[in-house]
Amino acid sequence: MKASNNTAILIAGIFSLVIGVGVARFAFTSLLPSMLDDGLDLTLAGLLASVNFVGYLSGSILAVFITNLHTKVQLFRLGILLSILTTIVLGVTRDETVWILARIVAGFGSAMVLVVGSAIVMTKLNFENKTQAMGIHFSGIGFSILLSDLTVRVIMGLGGTWQQAWIGLALFGALLAPFVLRTLSIDSAGRQNVEHHRFSFAVFTPLALLLIVAYFAEGVGFVVQGTFLPDIINSVDGLKGYGGYTWLLVGIAGIPSSILWMRLAQRYGSINMIIVAMLMQVVGILIPTLTHLPWLNLLSGILYGGTFVGLVALFLNLGGQLAGKNPVVLMGALTSAYGIGQVTAPLYSVALTEHFGSYDAALYLTAGITAAGAILMILGRKIRG
């Protein structure tokens, strides 16, 4: 399959997200209950999640200033490599300092894969209207959750430890990497035709600024469940053991999510769909605080997976459209704001959970911030007219 083929580009984009987002990020959520059972302190778990997003944030900020396509490709390749190598580290040592450093570097690698890689995919795709195609690309986030979780289940189901699961995840990523690196590259014929765009503040219109702040709120809404959801469900009275099933449903619901939301966005408008998805996410966040019913708490996973993946696609695609010919600038700014939310939310979640003895207070605060983001987008809809 030629590297310039749209199908190959989309498959490579999905595989890249499996490596950079699934293996390097979401596998931590799958393995967290086992790591906690083996003595990992919840405070350290929150710190590991937070520093991962510090690395992610630094990569997102760097992405704002990357205007050269060749540089983007080189940093994307670096991101793939770092995502694999830092995953191995978690399986071969229990040194907390090394873990913290590894999670920071993994976060940087994830940003290079998601932000820069998505910009490369958007640039390489040969479609007049790329909205639906980018929806397919971002379905890779759902695949990343599902495939990393299934990999963990297979390894541990065969009697493996969580350390062996980390090593197995790294090997899985290494198998996908060659196709990704070959496809999401620049052929020699295209090197002479690469456009160079200067960084410009002109893309930061009032609507774009509202979009950035709302995406910060979504970063908060995403990360609490994205880090702790299995443990949140397991901590609900009578639901011990349901956490893993809920997380599996997150991945399954996430696969068609971006495609569905992007189609709806084409028909009803991106901003309208962002508002609807964020309000649905608020409902999912609150469910574990309101009921012990198993099916409703499983539904919270479906609502989470069915909205956060779509929201990533909706926000980044809308940002790319608003930015015009240099989409990585606004996409990088958006992901930086998202990253700030991701850094702060695990820290307040751990503090509130340890103070009150449950996740409820953290979930109430998270739901409120996410709802505020939806209100900002209602204002953004008025600005856009």
Q: Which residue has the tokens 């040592």?
A: 93
Residues 341-368 have a mean pLDDT of 94
Encoded amino acid at 23, one letter? V
Decide which of 175 and 191 is more confident.
175
Q: Which two tokens stand for residue 358?
A: 């449950």
The span from the CA of 147 to the CA of 294, in Å, is: 24
Q: Which two tokens stand for residue 44?
A: 């350290």
Per mean pLDDT, which range of 145-149, 249-253, 321-325, 377-381 is the poorest? 321-325
Q: Tell me the CATH number at 262.
A: 1.20.1250.20
Split at pLDDT 50, 70, 90, the class of 328 is low
In a domain, 196, yes or no: no
Range of the domain at 366: 6-186+204-384
Residues 146-155 have a mean pLDDT of 95
What percentage of the chain exceeds 70 in pLDDT?
A: 93
- 241 φ, ψ to 5°? 100, -15
The span from the CA of 185 to the CA of 25, in Å, is: 24
Q: Which residue has the tokens 């939301």?
A: 261
Residue 131 to residues 3, 128, 194, 235, 330, Cα–Cα distance (Å): 20, 9, 22, 39, 16
337: part of which helix (H) or strand (E)?
helix 327-356
25: part of which helix (H) or strand (E)?
none
Split at pLDDT 50, 70, 90, the class of 187 is low
pLDDT at 32: 93
The span from the CA of 260 to the CA of 61, in Å, is: 29
User: Does the pLDDT at position 228 exceed 80?
Assistant: yes
In a domain, 73, yes or no: yes
Per mean pLDDT, which range of 193-207, 248-262, 307-321 is the poorest? 193-207
pLDDT at 192: 41
User: Does the pLDDT at position 80 exceed 70?
Assistant: yes
Cα–chain center distance at 12: 17
Decide which of 9 and 62 is more confident.
9
In a domain, 360, yes or no: yes
In a domain, 339, yes or no: yes
Per mean pLDDT, which range of 245-249, 283-287, 315-319 is the poorest? 315-319
pTM given for the model: 0.87
- 239 φ, ψ to 5°? -115, 15
Average pLDDT, the chain: 89
In a domain, 332, yes or no: yes
pLDDT at 149: 95
In a domain, 115, yes or no: yes
Query: Residues 237-255, buried b or exposed e (16+ Cβ, 10 A)?
Result: eebeebbbbbbbbbbbbbb
User: Does the pLDDT at position 56 exceed 80?
Assistant: yes
Asked if residue 27 lies in contact with residue 166, where contact means CB atoms within 8 angstroms, the answer is yes
User: Does the pLDDT at position 348 exceed 80?
Assistant: yes
In a domain, 198, yes or no: no
Asked if residue 247 lies in contact with residue 116, where contact means CB atoms within 8 angstroms, the answer is no
| Helical axes 243-268 vs 270-290, angle rounded to 10° | 160
- The count of domains in the chain is 1
User: Does the pLDDT at position 200 exceed 80?
Assistant: no
User: Does the pLDDT at position 244 exceed 50?
Assistant: yes
Asked if residue 17 lies in contact with residue 142, where contact means CB atoms within 8 angstroms, the answer is no
User: Does the pLDDT at position 324 exceed 70?
Assistant: no
The span from the CA of 361 to the CA of 357, in Å, is: 9
In a domain, 195, yes or no: no
HSE, side-chain direction, 13 A CA sphere, residue 385? 0
Cβ atoms < 10 Å from Cβ of 95: 11
pLDDT at 143: 93
